[in-house]
Amino acid sequence: MRLVDIRIYPVKSGAGCPVPEATVEPWGLAGDRRWAVVDEAGDNLWLGEHPRMASVRAGNMDGGGLLLSAPGLPDLKVAKAAGEPVPVGFSGLDRAIAADDDAHAWFTRLLGRPARLVWLDDPNRRTIDPAHGGLPGEVVSFAWDAPLLLTSAASLRVLDGQIGGDTPLDMARFRPSVVIDGAEPYAEDSWTEVRIGEIDFRVSELCDRCAVTTIDPVTLVKGKEPIRTLAKYRRWDGKTWFGIRLVPRNAGRLRLGDPVRPANAS
């Protein structure tokens, strides 16, 4: 088994950036989901309700800023956030640092409603929810429930075959941090520990899937797939499942082509 894809999402709910290698920190990949977009009350403006977020391309700049682009909007350089702490509604986190007014205006125009860009200054302030497999001392960025999400190319091929469409599903729908290939389909369901390259990970839980997967990452149009088909054979406990959530046990680097070795593999 090998690591075949690594993706960083500088802005939560924005498009992923494929990279050849990445540094693993306790809270996830370096530069991943340290920024998020919230409304005036501090609640997350997430992709499932705002598909245009998937059109946002963001690049981390030296010094801590961002370069933003999206169709129909001018590119914007955002300086490292240095504003006041503002309330946010993320589990395990009550405040984040506001970006500048130009960034707020850019996202307000993108979404057609008041929006603010915020930065998580210290991910050690946000612990993983125990309801999602978090253990004492484990931390996470603005990612939902774990520092990394792993998906399997073999599992996607099975799902593709079940759907039977003319165009293969884009793995981007599932918003993984890392994609592996060479395992049996859905073998990842049974893993409890996995080593990728030089990094050991604990599997905190399987990943339940939401409406985000039904948004085409190119056209931004919502449909019924893949949830409709996935639910026919991957639904239990009232949820539909695809992928696993990972918590790193040590720091280091991930690189494309790294070997993948589950602790409980035969």
The one-digit pLDDT tens for each residue of the chain (266 residues) are 999 999 999 999 999 999 999 999 999 999 999 999 999 999 999 999 999 999 999 999 998 999 999 999 999 999 999 888 999 999 999 999 999 999 999 999 999 999 999 999 999 999 999 999 999 999 999 998 999 999 999 999 999 999 987 889 999 999 999 999 999 999 999 999 999 999 999 999 999 999 999 999 999 999 999 999 999 999 999 999 999 999 999 999 999 999 999 986 54
Instruction: Please give the domain boundaries of the chain with CATH numbers for all domains.
Output: 2-28+128-262 (2.40.33.20), 33-125 (no CATH)
Q: Which helix (H) or strand (E) holds 159?
A: helix 153-163
Q: Between β-strands 116-119 and 95-98, what pairing exists: parallel, antiparallel or unpaired?
A: antiparallel
CA torsion angle 163 148 107 222 (round to 10) = 10
Instruction: Tell me if 207 sits within 8 A of 191, measured CB to CB.
Output: no
Angstrom CA distances, 62 to 78, 79, 239, 242, stand at 11, 10, 40, 35
Q: Supply the pTM of this predicted model.
A: 0.96
Instruction: Label residue 266 exposed, middle or buried (CB < 10 Å: 0-12, 13-18, 19+).
Output: exposed
CA distance 191 to 126: 26
